[in-house]
Amino acid sequence: MRIDDLANETGEWLRGTGPENDIVMSSRIRLARNVADRPFLTVASHKVRAELEAQIRDALSGVNLGTRRLYVALKEATPVDRQFLMERHLISKDLLNAEGDRGVAIAQEETVAIMVNEEDHLRLQVLRSGFQLREAWKEIDRIDNEISDRLAFAWHPQFGFLTACPTNAGTGMRISVLLHLPALVLTRQIDKVFQALSRISFTVRGLYGEGTQASGNFYQISNQSTLGKAEDQLITELTNVVPEIVKFERHCREKLAREQRVALEDRVFRACGTLKHARSISTEETMELLSALRLGSHLRLIPEIRQQTINELFITTQPGHLQKHEGRALTPTERDLARAGYIRGKLTSDS
């Protein structure tokens, strides 16, 4: 399996098949782990980093990740390939911009990604379509146990798993859901949701997590810290919160459809027309218009366009994906032209 194979298909989490998929795009659980008796990467030498990558890569080769798996040595990958992997949510922005020996193992239709030498020695991730935190936890717990049979992790009886950032210590777990909340934005209720989440210790980030802004009305909701809490407690807390946000978003969608029907239809059909006919379009405008299209799809205003197609376009129209598709580096102007053509082709084939 190669990176080019990933470019010709999309991961399970983009297919829109999971529970509550009209609002919950994906569920993710991530575990931070460090190898015992090895320094944190912030103080590790280049030699130690190289040894760690080799040691971890060897350990991962014995873990059951299925038959279709790929390991990418990011030090050797092209800038476009690294950008592509970040856009696909398979590596973080930090790993994209890091230097030296590092990599990522990818498996199971992109539901599993294991980053090596990011902030911690290992960052395990399981990503699932829709609202499936329990299912994601079951899979990542199995993988974590298999790796721990091959590598001794840094662990303290009082503080739990030791991590480079103290807020990750304990379980080392970050759980998050990616929500599409256009109606809360349009009805100006989104700030109320943010304030309520902050009061109960949840963080709101953009489409690509920490350090990114909201784009396309997508918001990533995650826990703030892990110390002193068990894995099941962390999962339960977010599992209890998400349905309330989903309920509020659906209420706002129904209100828009009932009280501002003409304005809503105009927004959706204008977005559809622009995306089907534009000859040049930026990333920012694409995300905004696709958000309206996705909302219209779930309100059955444009039933001819599949949800999976819309979901995929949020990712496949990003700069790295376009350059992979074209097979060469593109200037910003060339990307805008290529993006418009790519979207026209995808929407035409769906109609």
**Helix (H/G/I), strand (E/B), else coil: 210:** coil
Question: From CA 171, how far away is CA 31, in angstroms rounded?
Answer: 8
What are 331's two structure tokens? Answer: 């200037």
Q: What is the pLDDT of residue 260?
A: 95
Rg for the chain, CA atoms, rounded = 21
Compute how many other C-beta atoms are within 10 angstroms of the C-beta atom of residue 255.
Answer: 14
In CATH terms, 3-252 corresponds, of 3.30.590.10, 3.40.50.300, 3.40.630.10, 3.40.50.720, to: 3.30.590.10
| Dist. CA 268–CA 302, nearest whole Å | 8
Question: Would you state the pLDDT for residue 166?
Answer: 86
- pLDDT value of residue 213: 63
| Structure-derived torsion over alpha carbons of residues 90, 92, 98, 100, reported in degrees to the nearest 10 | -30
Neighbours of 113 (CB within 10 A): 26
Distance set, CA 305 to CA 25, 115, 208, 253, 297 (Å) = 17, 35, 25, 19, 7
**Res 211: pLDDT:** 52
Question: Model's pTM, two decimal places?
Answer: 0.93
The reported pLDDT for the residue numbered 22 is 95
pLDDT in tens, 314-336: 999 999 999 999 999 999 999 99
Q: Report how far residue 280's alpha carbon sits from residue 282's, in angstroms, rounded to the nearest whole number.
A: 7
Neighbours of 100 (CB within 10 A): 14
Residue spans of the domains in the chain: they are 3-252, 260-350
The maximal CA–CA distance of the chain, rounded, in angstroms, is 64
Helix (H, G, I), strand (E, B) or coil at 91: coil
Do 127 and 176 touch, CB atoms closer than 8 A? no
- Please answer whether residues 70 and 107 qualify as being in contact, where contact means their C-beta atoms are separated by less than 8 angstroms: yes
Q: For residues 207 and 88, is the Cβ–Cβ distance under 8 A?
A: no
Three-state secondary-structure class, residue 161: strand
CA-to-CA distance for 279 and 276, rounded, in angstroms?
9
| CA dist., res. 127 & res. 30, Å (int) | 9
Bridge partners, 114 (sequence order): 105, 124
Strands (E), 122-201: 122-129, 155-156, 160-161, 173-180
> Could you give the CA distance from residue 268 to residue 283 in angstroms, rounded to a whole number?
18
Q: What angle do CA 235, 6, 287 make, to 5 degrees?
A: 70
Strand partners, 215: 218
CA–CA separation, 175 and 136 (whole Å) = 10
Mean pLDDT per 10-residue section of the chain, whose length is 351 residues: 84 91 96 96 94 96 89 94 95 92 94 96 97 96 97 93 89 95 96 92 78 80 81 93 97 96 97 97 97 95 92 96 94 97 90 62
- Give the closest residue to 89 by CA, choosing from 339, 242, 315: 315
